[in-house]
Amino acid sequence: MITPIKKHWQELLALSFLFLAFIFAHRFFFLPGDFPTHDGVHFIRLYDLEKVLRQGQFPPRWLPSLGKGYGYPFFNFYPPLSYFAGLLFRFFGASFTLANKLSFALAGFLGAVGMFLLAKKFFANFWSGAIAVLFWLLLPYRALDLYVRGSLAEYWGLNLLPLVFYWAESFFTLPNRKQGLVLALGLFFLLIAHNGVALIGVVWLAVFLLFLLTVNREWSWLKLKKWLILMGPFLLAAGMAAFFIVPAIWEKGFTQIADMTSDYYAYYNHFPSLGQLFISRFWGYGGSNFGLNDEMSFQIGHFHSLAALTALFLLVGKLILKRGRVFRERKLGLALFFLISFLGFAFLSHQRSSFLWEKLPFLVFLQFPWRLLIFIGFSASVLAGFGLTRIKKGKTWLFFLSGLVLLVLGFSYFQPREMVDIDDNKYLSSPLWEYQQREFLTDYLPKTVEVIPKDYYRPPLILASGETRMILDQADKIIFTFLGEADQKVTIKRFYFPGWQAKIDGKLAEIDTSQNGFMVLALPEGQSRVELFFGQTTTRRLANRISLAAWMLFFWLAFSLRKKTKRTNPGAND
């Protein structure tokens, strides 16, 4: 009798190889210390997030240590998922430094699992899933995000994409309540993972589903009821994430966010050339500069480009043989979609597409056209899985040979410039702490800050001529008593942003601002009790209520599904 291990030893060996490839790509995230990257501010964000949650601020918006220590509503605009993942490791005792590194690794692992499930489902073949994971794990842009840019939120976003596509295709194939709820949850995570990836990813996913409708000729889906079924998870996910999405969109006008899409950050300064995309193997740890004098790599990857080229030849051949009836074979239709996506995103990342960037203004929030390498690499990985379906014999050897080639090509990429002996104590000490406080200062700086303070925050918090006794000093709430000999204006060294409210002796008071954006209050002679709290604007209040209602609906649907399943049988579909 042949045991399962003997029967499937090749598959088990391939899974072991994939796990080793995952470890190889993320090996430095399991080692002591840390390494410098472009986004070297994850420590202070996670540190402040834990602090404000302990203080009862939920959903978290205001982080007190940013903006040179004067605070601003960072998580009102920046998606929090990657840092909540870090808190999971904090719960199990990890340091802040280790928790952030493990957040990177967890995202990479989920991305590998998602790509395997997706490609295996698309092409009904274990080896297609396995080789797609290899291409996805060893994508040059992944190395860029891990070891050069250090973009934790973007890394979560790109790794959630395969799972979301997998759940979307599953829901399309079997549109029941269970599949819809799973897709809604996946879309929710994507929406609070990374703004740019979510923006392009959701649009791309919608186009994918429309493509499936067209290819499958399921015209009955165009009926209103069917459209509502298909759009249900999207609408539910948007509602669940409304607490973040709505303020991020409607309150951006209160910030200096325009600086994030102008000057250096203007998209037209960062188009890679065809040589950088398809030919160059340059690798550097510098930045994206004006023109083509870049100090970082924007390569798709030679082997990834070869996978797309192979798919092109295979599809053209099938198109000729089948006389245009290529859509009738599901695998060919899926491959065609991702080939078109590969070519389309490659075009969008090049300067020749600038007329589209001008006509589609939402693209400017990507800042860097080379970010589309995420979607190019995703498409190339799926196409690698498709290519393996056309191989009749030798899939195992081709898988391992491809893995070795990818490891050789990417060996020098998947490593930091240097490892540094850094721990939590060093991150909390100057000058490293002050660097984190000032880095990306203007990203979401309130408009009220006309002149950025030269100094970092140092006590006292209250500037006034009189006696001040501090009762409470939290990120989103300040309470103190003040005794003054005359009417005067006092300055609270915390940036003002809509939502801050003041009460003097229990009565609402008007908040003025200084040229530095600090809050200023007019206090009467004598003793006063002052309360300042970061409350809800109309926008935030509405957003929170939408999210609460959406989550109640989600849990009600999930609970009712479970009850119905128990009444019938464990394997029943709703």
Residue spans of the domains in the chain: they are 29-424, 462-534
Structure confidence at residue 325 (pLDDT): 60
Model pLDDT, residue 530: 96
pLDDT at 221: 47
Residue with tokens 């009467």: 524
Q: Which tokens go with 127?
A: 């080896």
526-534 and 507-509 strand pairing: unpaired
Q: Would you say 131 and 388 are in contact if contact means Cβ atoms under 8 Å apart?
A: yes
Per-residue pLDDT at 565: 62
- How far is Cα 142 from Cα 330, in angstroms, rounded to an integer? 29
Name the nearest CA neighbour of 279 among 306, 299, 309: 299
The structure tokens 């002149």 sit at: 451
**Would you say 130 and 116 are in contact if contact means Cβ atoms under 8 Å apart?**
yes
pLDDT at 472: 96
Whether 171 contacts 568, CB under 8 Å: no
C-beta separation of 230 from 209 below 8 A: yes
- pLDDT of amino acid 569: 56
Q: What pLDDT score does 260 carry?
A: 64
Backbone angles phi, psi at 530, to 5 degrees: -115, 130
Containing 462, the helix (H) or strand (E) segment is: strand 462-463
Q: Does residue 77 sit in helix, strand or coil?
A: coil
State whether the Cα torsion 453-456-461-464 is positive or negative: negative
For the chain, residues with pLDDT lower than 50 are 1, 221, 571-574
Amino acid sitting at position 211: F
CA distances from 84 to 63, 237, 246 (A): 14, 18, 20
Statement: the pTM of the whole predicted model exceeds 0.75: yes
CATH architecture of 462-534: Sandwich (2.60)
Nearest to 138 by CA among 405, 368, 369: 405
The burial class, CB within 10 Å (0-12 / 13-18 / 19+), for 512 is middle
Tokens standing for residue 525: 């002679």
Residue 423: HSE in the Cβ half-sphere, 13 Å Cα cutoff: 5
